[in-house]
Chains A and B, each alone.
Chain A
Amino acid sequence: GAGVSQSPRYKVAKRGQDVALRCDPISGHVSLFWYQQALGQGPEFLTYFQNEAQLDKSGLPSDRFFAERPEGSVSTLKIQRTQQEDSAVYLCASSLAGEDEQYFGPGTRLTVT
């Protein structure tokens, strides 16, 4: 069956550009999570959705980061005015419910030059 997919897999942006990263969760999964993983580090929580409601955005590092999931399925993570420190792999995960096992996508590797 289809797992979590993310696009693009790789993105290179010039400093100051806006980027949009897409996540397609497993069909029927209520919960969706975004994580940021810097090179050589573990993933760090960014934000969490239950259906279309963003229940926790405490991990978003600045107001340049914005996530949405308008129809409770596909989610987009947008980063405005990208900075070099935004370079990382952005991982999306989904689960049937908030406390169930999370299934991760392959991630989008963002490089800001």
Chain B
Amino acid sequence: GESVGLHLPTLSVQEGDNSIINCAYSNSASDYFIWYKQESGKGPQFIIDIRSNMDKRQGQRVTVLLNKTVKHLSLQIAATQPGDSAVYFCAENPNNDMRFGAGTRLTVKP
């Protein structure tokens, strides 16, 4: 069936470097995408979202890129900090039943 998934299960970066987390989706009808951050023992926390009528959206230190042609989503974190260490999920929300990918664990080395 159609699903949201991630390319890499783990990512390790040096503090201060930029991080890029990728996500592939297969539901071409999806028009709304969200990135969440989940720290151990906590629920997912909204980071940034993007609608399909855009290809880029920027937040504070984060940028989401959407390539509808290849159904690819990425999250870029600038100047990664130890506090960014967490699992990152992309999700699509076609009809209130949000579909999450499996997640990428980001580890920031000091």
Contacts and interface: CB of A to CB of B under 8 A. Distances in A.
A53 to B, nearest CB: 12
Interface stretch (A13-21, A64-72, A73-81, A98-106): A98-106
Contacts, number: 55
Nearest to B90: A42
Interface residues of B, number: 22
A42 B98 CA distance: 11
A43 B100 contact: yes
A41 interface: yes
Interface of B: 4, 32, 34, 41-46, 49, 89, 91, 93, 95-103
Interface of A: 4, 31, 33, 35, 40-45, 48, 55-56, 58-59, 91, 93, 98-99, 101-107
